[in-house]
Amino acid sequence: MRQALTISFQNTYARLPGEFYARLSPEKMPTPRLLKLNEDLAKKLQLDVDALQSEAGIEFLSGRVEAEGSEPLAMAYAGHQFGHFVPQLGDGRALLLGEVLDGQGRRYDIQLKGSGRTPFSRRGDGRATLGSVLREYIVSEGMSALGVPSTRALAALLSGEGIMREQVFPGAIFVRVAQSHIRVGTFQFFAARGKKDLVKTLADYVIERHYPAVKEAENPYLALLDVVSQRQANLVAHWMALGFIHGVMNTDNTTLSGETIDYGPCAFMDTYHPDTVYSSIDHHGRYAYGNQPNIALWNMSRLAETLLFLVDANEDKAVKKIEQVLVKFPEYFSQSWRLRMGRKIGIQNTGEEDEKLIGDLLGLMAASKADFTNTFRRLCVLSIKESSLTGRANLFHGQEKSEDWFERWDKRLECDEMEPDERVAAMQKVNPSIIPRNHLVENAIQEALRENSFEAFEYIIDALKTPFVERPPRDKLVLPPEPQEVVEQTFCGT
Ligand code: AMP
Ligand code: MG
């Protein structure tokens, strides 16, 4: 029996002027197969899990059949890629199916990625490889469980096609959920064409959808820039606190909602060093770990340029007002970073004076080539001085300065009011025991490609749902990679 699939789609983006998108239907992939449905997310979005897993559901998730009420479209956007402006990018391999509301009335986009060519595809085939889809599934769900604002994975499917890259790979479709897919590059698309009215339409839409409170501000467009900057500063601070490197922070990969988007060459650092770069195409380290806050500000400046005329009709005045907002970015970032890094070492009310303690710890970690995630996780129990003298001595492989650092840390913790056990528990809530490590993600992908087995993929996405739970110390998900397992480079993988 065919199960009925009814989804209450809304299409507010499709009500915007025609210049915002190209309407088209997904290509029909030959023999789609559902690999994974994110049941928790489906339920949150008030979708019928059984129906989604039925034949009709797979026809819908693969784009073969349009659900009633869906008005699929490819979004137009531009963007600075590695600092160079490209006036037209757009959804070249993605289609927005429409929006749904969750139980609290919050609006989410449902988008297909890898669903075929669009007018924005240029020379691309509009397809996605299985590897890139599994990767985005694991890392985006991992980020979300770690508490980082992120796009989410609703489903992954095989398309039934083989697609050509360096070799033939299985084609796949990723079903992505986001608060919206509006990017800094969406603003740039209209600004670059001199379409001021459409920049205004877009800004008003973003305010209505994401930041209705700014309507009350004296200058709503300036307030919009301010709140988006705050979100980005907080987002990047969150990445930094988890050792996450986005890898391709182009303006087209920077959302207005403040969610992490586009998991291409991203990576969680194993060994800590601020200059770490994994992306194979980031030759100059533009998007290196330690450079991410600077780039986020650079991206906010590109957004600001598109809003100038809305902020004030007089350009000089507009520039002054905008500068006053952008100048706050470093402080927004530092505040969020300090708070997060402070909590990671058990300090609840971190002040500016704690930055030295945190900075010196990072210095020790870099000098001893410490594993980022495991060092912070170990520090949780090592915060109890009496029980952990050997553990402390071993942590930085005999770095001389470490004894002094531990002494200063002990003194600082004495000023905080928490009980030692309570502190360990609080620290374990912000220092994950597992993250989507590169070699684990790579292993899950290789197992799928070589052996057509999705066991490793299933195992890791299940484990990553509870990243702060203590695990056995020799657990494969906890251990850093063996030398032969280390992933040196990541790729955009489309
Ligand atoms: P990304 O690297 O995912 O941020 O994508 C940059 C641009 O390239 C976007 O406009 C994408 O839609 C487009 N693109 C990436 N891969 C493909 C593909 N396989 N076919 C068509 N367009 C693509
Ligand atoms: Mg992108």
Residue by residue, DSSP assigns 270-320 as: SB--TT---BTT-TT-TT-GGGHHHHHHHHHHHHHHHHHHHH-SSHHHHHH
pLDDT at 1: 47
- List CB contacts of 289: < 8 A, sequence separation 6 or more: 240, 243, 245, 269, 273, 274, 275, 276, 277
Between the CA of 188 and the centroid of ligand 2 the distance, in Å, is: 14
Structure tokens at 320: 């002054």
Q: Which residue, by CA, sits nearest to atom 16 of ligand 1?
A: 494
Residue 132 covered by a domain: yes
CA dist 415 and 450 (Å) reads 55
Atom of ligand 1 nearest to the CA of 90: 10
Ligand 1 close to Cβ of residue 87 (< 6 A): no
Atom of ligand 1 nearest to the CA of 494: 16
**Could you list the residue range(s) of the whole structural domain that residue 121 is in?**
13-181
Residue 8 covered by a domain: no
Residue 306 covered by a domain: yes
Boundary-marking domain end, from 132, 160, 181:
181
Between the CA of 285 and the centroid of ligand 1 the distance, in Å, is: 21
Same structural domain for residues 92 and 189? no
Between the CA of 462 and the centroid of ligand 1 the distance, in Å, is: 29
Ligand 1 close to Cβ of residue 89 (< 6 A): yes
Pick the more confident residue, 394 or 389. Answer: 394
Ligand 1 close to Cβ of residue 164 (< 6 A): no
Between the CA of 232 and the centroid of ligand 2 the distance, in Å, is: 17
Same structural domain for residues 177 and 255? no
> What is the number of the ligand closest to the CA of 132?
1
Same structural domain for residues 173 and 187? no
For all residues of the chain together, what is the average pLDDT? 96
Reported confidence tier of residue 450, pLDDT bands at 50, 70, 90: very high
Ligand 1 close to Cβ of residue 95 (< 6 A): no
Same structural domain for residues 394 and 471? yes
Reported confidence tier of residue 2, pLDDT bands at 50, 70, 90: low
Reported confidence tier of residue 494, pLDDT bands at 50, 70, 90: low
Note the helical H segments in 312-400.
315-326, 329-344, 355-367, 372-382, 389-395
Atom of ligand 1 nearest to the CA of 253: 4
Same structural domain for residues 134 and 196? no
159 neighbors 97 (Cβ within 8 angstroms): no
Boundary-marking domain end, from 155, 181, 207:
181
Boundary-marking domain end, from 146, 181, 216:
181
Reported confidence tier of residue 387, pLDDT bands at 50, 70, 90: confident
Residue 381 covered by a domain: yes
- List CB contacts of 81: < 8 A, sequence separation 6 or more: 89, 250, 252
pLDDT at 400: 79
pLDDT(381) > 90: yes
Same structural domain for residues 401 and 388? yes
CA dist 169 and 60 (Å) reads 23
Ligand 1 close to Cβ of residue 264 (< 6 A): yes
Same structural domain for residues 332 and 388? yes
pLDDT(447) > 80: yes
Structure tokens at 479: 């251990």
> What is the number of the ligand closest to the CA of 124?
1
Residue 284 covered by a domain: yes
Ligand 1 close to Cβ of residue 90 (< 6 A): yes
Q: What is the pLDDT of residues 110-148, one digit of tens each?
A: 999 999 999 999 999 999 999 999 999 999 999 999 999
Q: What is the pLDDT of residues 159-188, one digit of tens each?
A: 999 999 999 999 999 999 999 999 999 999
What's CA 145's distance to the chain center, in Å?
A: 11
Name residue 162's amino acid.
G
Pocket test for ligand 1, best of 27, 89, 93, 121 (most atoms within 8 A of CB): 93
Ligand 1 close to Cβ of residue 27 (< 6 A): no
pLDDT(296) > 90: yes
CA dist 246 and 261 (Å) reads 9
Residue 1 covered by a domain: no
Same structural domain for residues 235 and 328? yes
Tokens 């790729």 belong to which residue?
Answer: 491
> What is the number of the ligand closest to the CA of 74?
1
Between the CA of 90 and the centroid of ligand 1 the distance, in Å, is: 8
Catalytic residue positions, numbered: 252
Between the CA of 253 and the centroid of ligand 2 the distance, in Å, is: 5
Residue 7 covered by a domain: no
Same structural domain for residues 137 and 206? no
Residue 98 covered by a domain: yes
Q: Write down the pTM of the prediction.
A: 0.97
Same structural domain for residues 171 and 197? no
Ligand 1 close to Cβ of residue 26 (< 6 A): no
Between the CA of 109 and the centroid of ligand 1 the distance, in Å, is: 19
Q: Which residue, by CA, sits nearest to atom 6 of ligand 1?
A: 89
141 neighbors 464 (Cβ within 8 angstroms): yes
**% of the chain with per-residue pLDDT over 90:** 94
Ligand 1 close to Cβ of residue 91 (< 6 A): yes
Main-chain dihedrals φ then ψ at residue 450, nearest 5 degrees: -85, -40
Pocket test for ligand 1, best of 88, 89, 135 (most atoms within 8 A of CB): 89
Lowest mean pLDDT among 3-7, 163-167, 446-450: 3-7
Ligand 1 close to Cβ of residue 494 (< 6 A): yes
Q: What is the pLDDT of residues 227-279, one digit of tens each?
A: 999 999 999 999 999 999 999 999 999 999 999 999 999 999 999 999 999 99
If you average pLDDT over residues 466-485, what whole number do you get? 96
pLDDT(4) > 80: no
Same structural domain for residues 307 and 189? yes
Q: How many domains does the chain have?
A: 2
Same structural domain for residues 465 and 356? yes
What's CA 364's distance to the chain center, in Å?
A: 28
Atom of ligand 1 nearest to the CA of 126: 20
